[in-house]
Amino acid sequence: MKGFYSQHRDPKAVRFRFAVLLLLLTAPLAADTTGILAGVVSGSDGEPLVGASVLVEGTSLGAMTDNRGEYAIAGLPPGFYDVTARMVGRTASRAEEVQVAVGQMTRLDFELQVDVTGHTEITVTESRSSILQDVPTTLHLLDLENIRTISSGSLLEMIASQPGVVTPDGEMYVRGGRAGEVD
């Protein structure tokens, strides 16, 4: 376990604190009456989970984790909230009565376990027509038969195997776009 001094020298911790500080400095004028909820979502092995959703129940506020498993939700009025983190293929985790104070950041980390029960369900309710109109760019579609023949173990691996998608250093880039270019 890292000591107090070494935690403050950890590059990941320094980046996270810098991002939160930047968020605090660029918050809207309402920052004097709101707080921030931030943290890391990781798996049971301690590795950060990319693309997990963190939702503040009873509000329309939430965030997705970045490539370091970090999230930040700004603009929360002071009070107590129930917060849920979830990700496809993982069990959801819920924290109750999380206190958010004015002008402060509340840190809340989640650990999501692998969902071994396989309850992840994706339902397709419509089918595409034979002619797609008003498609401004190249479109690559996978039908159920194609999906069955792909030997990928996960949805992310299936997407990564498609034309125009590359995954160097664990980050996914689509058609030349880079991380952080899309809001």
Report pLDDT digits (tens) over 6-63.
555 677 777 787 777 766 666 554 446 888 899 999 998 889 999 889 999 998 899 9
pLDDT at 38: 92
Q: Which residues in the chain are classed under CATH 2.60.40.1120?
A: 4-112
Mean pLDDT confidence for 135-143: 64
- Is pTM, for the whole model, over 0.95? no
Residue 109 pLDDT exceeds 90: yes
* Candidate CATH numbers 1.10.1740.10, 1.10.3720.10, 2.60.40.1120, 3.20.20.70; the one for domain 4-112: 2.60.40.1120
Kindly report the three-state secondary structure assignment for every residue of the chain.
CCCHHHHHHCHHHHHHHHHHHHHHHHCCHHHHHCEEEEEEEEECCCCECCCCEEEECCCCCEEECCCCCEEEEEEECCEEEEEEEECCCECCEEEEEEEECCCCEEECCEEECECCCCCCCCCCCCCCCCCCCCCCCCCCCCCHHHHHHCCCCCHHHHHHCCCCEECHHHCCEECCCCCCCCC
Residue 65 burial (C-beta neighbours within 10 Å; 0-12, 13-18, 19+): buried
Phi, psi of 168 (to 5 degrees): -80, 140
Torsion angle (degrees, nearest 10) of CA 13, 17, 22, 27: 130
Q: What is the mean pLDDT of residues 58-79?
A: 90
Contact status, residue 35 vs residue 101, Cβ threshold 8 Å: yes
